[in-house]
Structure 1
Amino acid sequence: MNTPTLDPRVTERRNPRTVDIDLASPLAIVDLINAEDRLVAEAVASQREAIAATITHIERAFRAGRRLFYIGAGTSGRLGVLDASECPPTFGTDPDMVIGLIAGGDRALRTPIEGAEDDPAGGAAEMDAHEIADGDVVVGIAASGTTPYVRGALVRARERGAITALIACSEPPPAMRDAADVCILPIVGPEVLTGSTRLKAGTATKLVCNMLTTGAMIRIGKSYGNLMVDLRATNAKLQDRSERIVIEVTGLPREEARALLVAADGRVKRALVMHALGVDAATADARLAEKGGVIRRVVPNAPPPVSERAS
């Protein structure tokens, strides 16, 4: 009898530790999944240098006024869209600065579009449609490392002059590797349910995306210490957070902090520089622009130590 050929993709292999999960109690299922999830952080840590190199590329793109794109299919595409959509409220960025693309378009965020991921021309067409150019960074996300749609996008993005990166949780074939300037490969092993890459692979992908945008945003001055100083106060929660950040840094009473934010048109970073230097909004903006938007280069003092004042 011939031995069947096993799929070379680790994301498609059966996990020997969960073969009896269908007989497990709810608590045992939780323990099995949790034990597998514990492997994810170490897999991501093994890619620290590749992640850091990609952050450097993204920082360079942002400072040149260029863009970051995520592109993927299914869960991978949804995770890219999620990370991109969180950047404007978190970092006060323009929605066109970080863009998430998914095979099948926005309808695929909720409804699977069968066959879209198998179309490399579709990925290439997205790069053309968004006029990818020299200075942009395109990050393909493909848990299996083989998605044709992603490969097509990376190949075309590189042809158009972009820096390309790949996030995959299985060793990609040569054609996919060759399309990426940087490969980020947190190999998390077989899933709890065979092939269900929304589990460990999805978690690893989310962690990597978190690092890429957060790291690049920090590098271009979107934080002061560990405080988010470029958030947009688009709701009551974020308005309160903005005021608490100003209070934490300046020691002002809330009413004065609120008035300072009004004078700064709601921009926390601008308000902090205005207060520290005793200048108006235009001067604060000019000083920040001279120093690449990084408060620490404008205001020599570090943020105050962690206190209970803003808790």
Structure 2
Amino acid sequence: MEQKNQTAVSEFHLLGLTDNHKLLPLIFTMFLSMYLITVLGNLLIFITIGSGSQLHTPMYFFLSILSINDICYSTVTIPKMLVNIQAEDDSISYIECLSQICFLSIFGGMENFLLAVMAYDRYVAICKPLRYTVIMNPICCGLMILLSLFLSIMDALLHSLMVLRLSFCTDLEIPHFFCELAQVIKLVCSDTFLNNLLIFAATFVFAGGPICGIAFSYIYIVSSVLRMPSSGGKHKAFSTCASHLSVVSLFYGTGLGVYISSAVTDSLGNTVMASVMYSVVPPLLNPFIYSIRNREMKKALSKLAGRFLYLV
């Protein structure tokens, strides 16, 4: 059937993870559990850092911002999915869809920049330890967070405003559980050259820049650590980077998996599952990575648990 242009769009339809209705209760329970663990885990990290005076350092300040960002990142998509499953309604309004695209770009961009800022923090701590407190002062840390937020918002607004100019077809079904920008653009009947060009340019600048920053930071870190005379100093330096490297590998590894999955397969199911990996799994696992692999975090968590038990 021939598709006709439809400029006035009121809603889209999210096809979700499966068309098997018998699996929906299982999916609802699984994603509700993952969302609650994500929120509680990241909130616990934030409270632990706030209540532990020994954690009031730039590294943990950035980690607390990352935890809040992860909560927001998951909140953009999962609650709407759960509501749709519970109501047995797959619709999402045009405004809600555009809002998802915008906020996903903001919080995804913030994650990207925060990981780069945290890599720079580790570079200064290991390669310039005597100047660490001077370089990573509170004003500098605050400005880096504000700059990251500003760039993320600018990137999100560019994509959102470019979507507003598009004309959609009559087929408004999105084979996903949230409004992913690439999937929404596939529903367009008008020319999408500028949108695709913007996505490519924004990815190159706003993702490529932080990735290069992380790579160069760790090149200098490894070079500096290898020149250390004592094995104990090398182990301590690498251990402070272990958690961050794990989170970086998880975030960019799942994102690369989505790209490869989209490039080599036409299966929508595989693409959707890959998108689950980058949108749901990193915020879920980040608190565990930082709490399990970080000795100071484990001590602070133990103290916080002791205070809670004492009050109870």
Task: Normalising by structure 1, report the TM-score.
Answer: 0.29
What's the TM-score once normalised by structure 2's chain length? 0.29
Q: Which has the higher strand share?
A: 1
User: Higher relative contact order at CA 8 Å, sep ≥6: structure 1 or structure 2?
Assistant: 2
